[in-house]
Amino acid sequence: MDLSDLIEVPAIMPALKANSKKQLLQLLAERAAAISGIPEREVFDTILQRERLGSTGVGNGIAIPHGKLAGVKRITGVFARLETPVDFEALDDQPVDLVFLLLAPEGAGADHLKALSRIARVLRDTDTVAKIRGTRDASAIHALLSETPASHAA
């Protein structure tokens, strides 16, 4: 699975400013709503509920909030690169500055998990992550996310 299937350039926010986890989630939900046409509130509630189950901060400044929504037509991603990191209650206590939001339709099943693990893999590549942190260009970030890192070819 290629990440370019789930995310398009307009879904990338290359220099987002947020003061808190909650505000960050709201901004992500807003953009997701704009792309998918689902009410912002629903998106926000879904991902917030998942955060209550446990933070999706996976460490090293990266978070992958996710959830399933009835109204979503296909697996949809939104990406944000933050100007200043915010606390995300991540396991390693490091503030987060790269966030990939993933929304999946109710019936997505295995594809949802496949997409999640693909995202986790791409964002585990230190090279890719460093390059994303170094740019403010949405299409550059899109290209980086869509690359298949040689070392982690999945």
Partner 1 sequence: MEQAVYLITLVGTALVVAAAFSSLIAFRFGAPLLLLFLGIGLASGVDGLGIVFDNAHLAYFVGAIALAVILFDSGFGTPVGVLRQAGLPALTLATIGVGITTVIFGIAAYYLTGFTWLESFLLGAAVASTDAAAVFFLLRAGNINLRERVRSTLEIESGTNDPIAIFLTITLVEIIALGAKPDADLLLVDLVIGFFVQMTLGAAIGLLGGFVIVKLVERLNLDRGLLPIFVLTLSLLVFAMAGAVGGSGFLAVYLAGLVAGNSDIRAVSTLKRFQEGMSWLAQIIMFLVLGLFATPSQFPAIVVSALVLGLFLMFVARPIAVWLCLIPFNIPRQETAFISWVGLRGAVSILLAITPLLGGLENGRAIFNIAFIIVLTSLVIQGWTVGPLARRLGLIVPQRYGPLDKVELELPGSAHHELLAYKVVPGSPVAKGQRIPRWARPSLVVREGRSMRFADMGRLQAGDNVYIFVPDRYPRLLDRLFASRAEVDAEDEDFFGAFTVDQTHLAGELEAIYGATIKEEERKLSIGDLIKQRLRGHVEYADRVSLGPIDLIVRDVDDKGRIVAVGLSIEPAPPPPPVPVFLSGSEISQRIRRFFAKRPQKPATTQEPPTTSEGLSEDA
Among 50, 87, 143, 146, binds partner 1 (CB under 8 A): 50
Q: Restricting to residues 79-98, name those near partner 1 by CB under 8 A.
A: 91-93
Q: Measured from the CB of residue 75, what is the shortest distance to partner 1 in angstroms?
A: 14
Provide the 8-state DSSP code for 134.
T
Is residue 32 a contact partner of residue 43, using CB atoms and an 8 Å limit? yes
**120 touches partner 1 by CB under 8 A:** yes
Helix (H, G, I), strand (E, B) or coil at 56: coil
Position among 8, 68, 95, 146 found at the interface with partner 1 (CB under 8 A):
68
Neighbours of 45 (CB within 10 A): 14
Catalytic residue, from 66, 112, 142, 152: name it: 66
The 10 Å Cβ neighbour count of residue 79 is 27
Q: Which residue has the tokens 């998918």?
A: 36
Q: How far apart are the first and last CA of the chain?
A: 8
> Which stretch in 27-35, 52-60, 74-82, 131-139 sits in contact with partner 1 by CB under 8 A?
52-60
C-alpha closest to that of 3 among 147, 126, 134: 147
> Any catalytic annotation for residue 66?
yes
Residue selected from 67, 99, 101, 132 as contacting partner 1 according to rule CB under 8 A = 67
Catalytically annotated residues: 66
Binding residues vs partner 1 (CB under 8 A) = 50, 52-56, 58-59, 64, 66-68, 91-93, 109-110, 112-113, 116-117, 120, 124
